[in-house]
A and B are shown apart, each in its own frame.
Chain A
């Protein structure tokens, strides 16, 4: 570029446009894009052409066809006779989100507890936590799921010998059956109380923070907000005379029906996923905490902070910066691992959609493509949420 400036006065040497590095790099990138688009387009049109030539049905018309098969756990209304394959898709997706969401919560709690225990000065606690991590994370997840599922089935009594609490709660190898609450008129007051409590607690939190910034005085924020959010609705509930009807499960000839049903497949999958992922999260947490230099703790102590506030205010906030990126990985793994549900009969998205729907319709390309898109979306959404959280937690230098 600058060679033209060597001798002033001469007209700049004419560089042909194809030797211009900018033009060149743009041209290469453009060519690469064209090739990729052509390849994808070629593969897609080729697939469509061959599907048509092989007389294999294609398209998304199946979405509105009646499904005709039953699903054991449905969070939204679904019936084999009236519902469509599209509805079955949503049922499966919600089941996946349920087990993945709860799994993430439980795995995080267990993981943090185990991770901190492993760093504990208590010898027994640290060794037990270490043993847990090394055992669980070194066994294949599928094996663990099968183990838990069969352990659940074998350990629980047969349906006719159900464990029961006062005929309201039943536990047997078909699942856990709980009374199902339904709201009667007057329950609206409880909801209003909850929202009032929520608003008040937010106002209180802001006030407490300002007060601390002004005067340094601390207020028991947690207890007050808890009292507002939980206490107020409870008072409203009692004041209106508990306007809730409990539908108890009823023992029939074969099964227990009515009430809320927790399937053993669901319990085994949730338990297996939580326990497995928690072992990895524990190590992530341990690594994060160890990464905070000893000097930080010593400085806190020398300022007069006690161990608990030191952990909460000094160590954990700094450790979180190290913990969050690998934690995101573990969450994504948990979501993807939930597809192993198919092995133990839990009706997740893969079991319902890529299993039964694919087989009944025979439209493998469409069904698999939709499923891949769904998992990609779930994973990317998890990742975006964690990245936002991460950017909030990064060290802000003042």
Chain B
């Protein structure tokens, strides 16, 4: 009896222990990166008919896989709902959560998770029918608004209407899909979400041209990837993967010219691409980690244009997401 009890108790302990620390080693041993992704949002995370995932968040996971394995395909994408995403990362089901998640103080402190940076500066907006002849969100007093559950959107919506002394009726759905469908069926006057998502969702409406996106952006929505607390090495790897993509764009290193650039005399490029110093090894990766990322996935600008920018159906202007020296606020610390 006692033996069995001791064994069972030990099993419980071992199962619980395995979820902590040493993420890089776990990922390497497993041979594949588990990435929590959206799964239904064009431009950020969406599999096509062949099961190939594309999107800005997807590219970030591919870049991490490229840096570790020199193969951007060694990623298993786990589609997560807004509601389940944090639990999946906390429990170790995924190694990194790149699922258009807004960075807020409570999420950063009380979930046992950390944001590593911002890969898309977004803000919340509204889409309405043109027939309503509404030109501003301030005219939405008394409207019904469809919204997805478990998002910052839900809270911002209440705050915005309250601070402008307006009334509204929110109708909450578990997934963005259901919320958009209900809006399309006329259940609500407006659908609200991050502006980037509105551009993507509008494409799925029965008649996209009957709907307009209102000019107001009612909140700050810095979207970024998350990792578990307590593994600083893994935190650094995810953080610097994004910085590497931003630095590559700043130094005009693209997927096409990266081999040429590696021969450059520019000391900044030399440090970035690992021909000088061993910054990659300090992260627990190889010297040429950025070469791998840029060659196999691309720099931040390439990823942006391909997924959400002019090269995509969404055609979102880069706006705030331009580099700092081009009028935006995307700014990466230097590699040195």
Contact A359 B112 (CB under 8 A): no
Partner of A359, one of B82, B168, B170, B181: B82
Q: Does B185 contact A (CB under 8 A)?
A: yes
Q: A351-B172, A356-B150 are in contact. Are A253 and B142 (CB under 8 A)?
A: yes
Q: Does B143 contact A (CB under 8 A)?
A: yes
Contact A173 B178 (CB under 8 A): no
Chain A residue at minimal CB-CB distance from B140? A254
Which residues from B are CB-within-8-Å of A264? 187
Q: Does B87 contact A (CB under 8 A)?
A: yes
Q: Does A69 contact B (CB under 8 A)?
A: yes
Partner of B150, one of A70, A71, A355: A355
Chain A residue at minimal CB-CB distance from B181? A150
A264 to B178, CA, bound (A): 14
Partner of A154, one of B86, B185, B229: B185
Contact with B along A378-390 (1 / 0, CB 8 A): 0000000000000
Contact A70 B20 (CB under 8 A): no
Q: How many positions in chain A have a CB within 8 Å of any CB in the partner chain? A: 50
Count A-B pairs with CB separation below 8 Å: 143
Task: Report B246-279 residues with CB < 8 Å from chain A CB.
Answer: none
Which residues from B are CB-within-8-Å of A343? 174, 178
Chain B residue at minimal CB-CB distance from A52? B112
Chain B residue at minimal CB-CB distance from A32? B1
A257 to B87, CA, bound (A): 38
Which residues from A are CB-within-8-Å of B19? 50
Chain A residue at minimal CB-CB distance from B174? A342
Q: A252-B142, A356-B154 are in contact. Are A35 and B174 (CB under 8 A)?
A: no
A96 to B179, CA, bound (A): 21
Contact with A along B169-194 (1 / 0, CB 8 A): 11111100011011001110100000
Which one of A53-61, A99-107, A128-136, A319-327 is at the interface? A53-61
A360 to B141, CA, bound (A): 26
Contact A68 B5 (CB under 8 A): no
Contact B229 A54 (CB under 8 A): yes
Contact with A along B120-163 (1 / 0, CB 8 A): 00000000000010000000111110000111001101110010
Q: Is the interface of A mostly helix, strand, loop or mixed?
A: helix
Chain A residue at minimal CB-CB distance from B157? A70
Contact B187 A355 (CB under 8 A): no
Which one of B9-17, B29-37, B314-322, B324-332 is at the interface? B9-17
Contact with B along A44-68 (1 / 0, CB 8 A): 0011001101111100000000001
Which residues from B are CB-within-8-Å of A302? none
Report the contact-size class of chain B (Cβ under 8 Å from the partner): 35 or more
Which residues from A are CB-within-8-Å of B187? 153, 173-174, 264
Which residues from A are CB-within-8-Å of B151? 359
> Shortest Cβ distance from B175 into chain A, in angstroms?
9
> Shortest Cβ distance from B47 into chain A, in angstroms?
22
Contact with A along B18-44 (1 / 0, CB 8 A): 011000000000000000000000000
Q: Is the interface of B mostly helix, strand, loop or mixed?
A: mixed
A51 to B110, CA, bound (A): 10
Contact A265 B171 (CB under 8 A): yes
> Shortest Cβ distance from B174 into chain A, in angstroms?
5
Which residues from A are CB-within-8-Å of B12? 39, 42-43, 46
Partner of A254, one of B5, B8, B86, B144: B144
> Shortest Cβ distance from A67 into chain B, in angstroms?
9
Q: Does B73 contact A (CB under 8 A)?
A: no
> Shortest Cβ distance from B247 into chain A, in angstroms?
30
Q: Does A38 contact B (CB under 8 A)?
A: yes
Q: Does A345 contact B (CB under 8 A)?
A: yes
Contact B142 A254 (CB under 8 A): yes
Contact B186 A153 (CB under 8 A): yes
Contact B155 A68 (CB under 8 A): yes
Q: Does B74 contact A (CB under 8 A)?
A: no
Which residues from B are CB-within-8-Å of A361? 110
Contact B150 A359 (CB under 8 A): yes
Which residues from B are CB-within-8-Å of A38? 5, 9
Which residues from A are CB-within-8-Å of B158? 68-70, 80-81
Which residues from A are CB-within-8-Å of B132? 254
Q: Does B90 contact A (CB under 8 A)?
A: yes
A257 to B16, CA, bound (A): 52
A253 to B20, CA, bound (A): 54
Q: Does B76 contact A (CB under 8 A)?
A: no
Q: Does B4 contact A (CB under 8 A)?
A: yes
Q: A31-B1, A55-B230, A56-B90 are in contact. Are A345 and B144 (CB under 8 A)?
A: no
A288 to B134, CA, bound (A): 60
Partner of B171, one of A46, A53, A72, A80: A72
Contact with B along A16-39 (1 / 0, CB 8 A): 000000000000000100010011
Contact A153 B185 (CB under 8 A): yes
> Shortest Cβ distance from A356 into chain B, in angstroms?
5
Which residues from B are CB-within-8-Å of A347? 172
Which residues from B are CB-within-8-Å of A267? none
Q: A153-B185, A255-B142 are in contact. Are A344 and B162 (CB under 8 A)?
A: no
Q: Does B83 contact A (CB under 8 A)?
A: yes
Contact B155 A46 (CB under 8 A): no
Task: Report A140-158 residues with CB < 8 Å from chain B CB.
Answer: 150, 153-154, 158
Q: Does B295 contact A (CB under 8 A)?
A: no
Contact A257 B142 (CB under 8 A): yes
Chain A residue at minimal CB-CB distance from B6? A38
Residue with the greatest number of chain B CB neighbours at <10 A, chosen from A43, A55, A69: A69
Q: Does B228 contact A (CB under 8 A)?
A: yes
Contact B144 A174 (CB under 8 A): yes
Q: Does B203 contact A (CB under 8 A)?
A: no
Q: Does A119 contact B (CB under 8 A)?
A: no
Chain B residue at minimal CB-CB distance from A39? B8
Which residues from B are CB-within-8-Å of A39? 5, 8-9, 12
Which residues from A are CB-within-8-Å of B167? 257
> Shortest Cβ distance from A255 into chain B, in angstroms?
5
> Shortest Cβ distance from B234 into chain A, in angstroms?
14
Contact A173 B185 (CB under 8 A): yes
Q: Does B107 contact A (CB under 8 A)?
A: yes
> Shortest Cβ distance from B132 into chain A, in angstroms?
8
Contact B182 A153 (CB under 8 A): yes
10 extra A-B contacts, CB within 8 A, seeds A50-B16, A72-B171, A254-B142: A35-B5, A38-B9, A54-B112, A55-B112, A56-B110, A68-B155, A69-B154, A81-B162, A150-B181, A364-B87
- 12 A–B contacts from the bound complex (CB under 8 Å): A35-B1, A38-B5, A43-B12, A69-B170, A70-B172, A159-B186, A254-B144, A254-B189, A355-B83, A359-B83, A362-B107, A364-B90
Q: Give 3 closest A-B pairs by Cβ, nearest first.
A: A359-B150, A56-B112, A57-B110
